Amino acid sequence: MPDPLLSRRRLLAGASTLAGAGLLGGCEAPVLGRLTSPYDLSNGLTFAVQRWLLRGQPLVREFGPEAISRVFPTINTTDPDNADYRRSKAQAFADWRLPVGGLVERPGTFSLAELKAMPARTQITLHACEQGWSAIASWTGVQLPHLLAHVGLKPEARFIVMRSVDGWWDSYDLFDALHPQTILAYGMNGADLPVAHGAPVRLRVERQLGYKSLKYLSQIEAVDRVDGLGQGRGSMVAELGFPWYAGI
Amino acid sequence: MPYGMGGTRPEAMGGTMTDTATVLRHPLWLRLTHWVNAAAFLALVVSGVAILLALPRLFWGETGANGAPAAFDLPLPVNLEQTGWGRNLHFLAGWVLVLNGAVYLVTGALTGRLRRAVVPDRDQIAPAHLAREIADHARLTPARGREALRYNALQRMAYFSVIAVLIPTMILSGLTMSPGITAAYPELFTLFGGRQSARTVHFIAACLLVLFLVVHVAQVFVGGARNLMRSMITGRFTVPPERADA
């Protein structure tokens, strides 16, 4: 469904500004802003080349329902040990709220019902884990670009920071955040998103490995830079030795 | 009587070599690309195994995971702790291998060296010649004299398989596991029959490359490790003289 608030021009402008800044030395993407080891160079090269190859913003493949995997592993947190989360889970997440703030015109908090009332997108895609496994599932949710347009992303916003109930956090540049297949998924395989898969809402970032698709979303924030967060590597996994950009 | 150090080929000298001669066998660019490639390949093998141990099972098709039936279970221990450095090293070494390989291919094509490394000479494809090469290999008899200065036909076929078949297969099957690359080129999934098929092909081609390396190093010992290693480090190669009865 076309969204008047999110023009293609805005999407492309965000993408090209970022790519240009990164390639010309602006180096705002965490992957290019910090070249202290040979791995930073090779991961930065991978990022730059993939951004160029993906400059037309293609969609990933989508499958038919017959392709949905019987086995879809769950790893890391599968049931957050958090009092607020447990209480929320006990009432089917009726009291769950997602704050969306930072560099936006109209910050707000959204209930599960409010997200479900927004235009939904369902996509059946291949999830690839850095451990080597892959599985296909159907994901239903609201497009992140729709939500960001709803709250009015300010022009100076460059990254979207996502936080999770279990303390996990990650960031995404607008190139990925505004991609049509980047969704906040509340449904999986036709049912509510199971707890083990990140209920009530998880992120889907389809052109990167599974670890970028954060589960148990608790907060969304638009920012102009991420080098002040944590150790300045743009994500929590980057502090554990996994690249911020996981397109390979 | 030493040959000219400019890489003069023995054919140009004429006659039969009976004396020990030293030639500059490998130019600097070839020696450099050879050792850079060797280092990158070893890093790829080590890091590849580290990554594999997170899921030492092979699948066919798009999907595969623990709990799903595997095409083959490798008899290896599971280790989930090594994919961080493993993947970083794998992609660093992968870039080095690709960029270094591009230098090798371009320089090799321009100098004619590549053709002489992978395409057998006309006389080498004669059945009698091939039969003699096979017999010599079976008896572990290295070439001497003029024949020692050119790659033999079996060697060229092996190099062709590596350069034109196995390494391209490794690169393409590796890229098929990249969600970013396949978003741009979904045809890769069609080429290999799915992401897990590509992973399995990547493993099989890696095993064949390791087999090549084992034979390659064994041949160095058969052919004279000191002389052959020196020729790949300094370039200087001492030509073993023809046998008197040859």
Structural domain boundaries, residue B195: 21-239
By C-alpha distance, the chain A residue nearest B88 is A39
Higher pLDDT, B196 or B7: B196
Q: Compute the C-alpha angle A110/A191/B61, nearest 5°.
A: 115
* Of residues A43, A67, A207, nearest to B179 (C-beta): A207
- Is B32 within the bounds of a domain? yes
Instruction: Choose, out of A47, A66, A131, the residue to mutate when testing the contact with B (most B CBs < 10 Å).
Output: A131
Distance between CA atoms of A98 and A104, rounded to whole angstroms?
15
Contacts of B86 in chain A (CB under 8 A): none
Confidence of residue B19 (pLDDT cuts 50, 70, 90): low
**Does residue B14 belong to any structural domain of this protein?**
no
Closest alpha carbon to A11 in A143, A188, A171? A143
Q: For chains A and B, what is the number of CB pairs under 8 angstroms?
A: 114
Distance, CA of B101 to CA of B149 (rounded, Å) = 23
Closest CA to B194 of B48, B73, B63: B63
| Residue B125 falls inside a structural domain | yes
Contact A120, A139 (CB under 8 A): no
A193: containing domain:
8-239
Confidence label for A1 from pLDDT (cuts 50, 70 and 90): very low
CATH of residue B132's domain is 1.20.950.20
Would you call A206 and B84 a contact, using CB atoms and an 8 Å cutoff? Answer: no
SS (H, E, C) chain A: CCCCCCCHHHHHHHHHHHHHHHHCCCCCCCCCCCCCCHHHHHHHHHHHHHHHHCCCCCCCCCCCHHHCCCCCCCCCCCCCCCHHHHHHHHCCCCCCEEEEEECECCCEEEEHHHHHHCCEEEEEEEEECCCCCEEEEEEEEEEHHHHHHHHCECCCCCEEEEEECCCCEEEEEHHHHCCCCCEEEEEECCEECCHHHCCCCEEECCCCCHHHCCCCEEEEEEECCCCCCCCCCCCHHHHCCCCCCCCC
| CA-based nearest residue in chain B for residue A243 | B88
Residue B115: closest CA among B142, B151, B147 = B151
Q: What residues does B22 pair with on adjacent strands?
A: B238
Least confident of A19-28, A134-143, B176-185: A19-28
* Mean residue pLDDT across chain A: 90
The model's pLDDT over B61-89, given as tens digits with 9 standing for 90+, comes to: 999 999 999 999 999 999 999 999 999 99
The DSSP secondary-structure symbol of B81 reads S
pLDDT confidence band for B243 (50 / 70 / 90): confident
Tokens coding A115: 């997200």
Residue B15 falls inside a structural domain: no
Q: What is the pLDDT of residues A33-57, one digit of tens each?
A: 777 889 999 999 999 999 999 999 9
Give the residue-averaged pLDDT of B191-207. Answer: 98
What ipTM score was computed for the predicted complex, to two decimals?
Answer: 0.89
Lowest mean pLDDT among A14-18, B49-53, B130-134, B190-194: A14-18
| pLDDT for B219 beyond 60 | yes
At CA B120, angle to CA B118 and CA B121, rounded to 5? 130
**Which of B74, B92, B176, B192 to probe by mutation at the A interface, max A CB count within 10 Å?**
B92
Report yes or no on B215 lying in a domain.
Answer: yes
pLDDT of A61 above 70? yes
- How many structural domains is chain B composed of? 1
Query: What is the count of structural domains for chain A?
Result: 1
Residues 6+ apart with CB under 8 A from A34: A27, A40, A227, A232, A233
Q: What is the mean pLDDT of residues B54-58?
A: 98
Contact A60 B183 (CB under 8 A): yes
> Does a structural domain hold residue A246?
no
For chain B, the first-to-last Cα distance in angstroms comes to 20
A243–B196: do the CB atoms touch at under 8 Å? no
Cβ distance A243 to B62 less than 8 Å, yes or no, reads no
The shortest CB-CB distance from A128 to any of B80, B95, B179 is to: B179
Nearest Cβ partner for A240 among B84, B184, B186? B84
Is residue B16 domain-resident? Answer: no
Which residues of B have a CB under 8 Å from any CB of A?
Answer: 51-52, 54-55, 62-68, 80, 83-85, 87-89, 91-92, 94-96, 177-186, 189, 195-196, 199
Matching residue, tokens 């449904």: A187
Domain-located, residue A2: no
Q: How far is A113 from chain B (nearest CA, A)?
A: 32
What is chain B's length?
246
CATH code for position A158: 3.90.420.10
Asked if A243 and B88 come within 8 Å (Cβ–Cβ), the reply is: yes
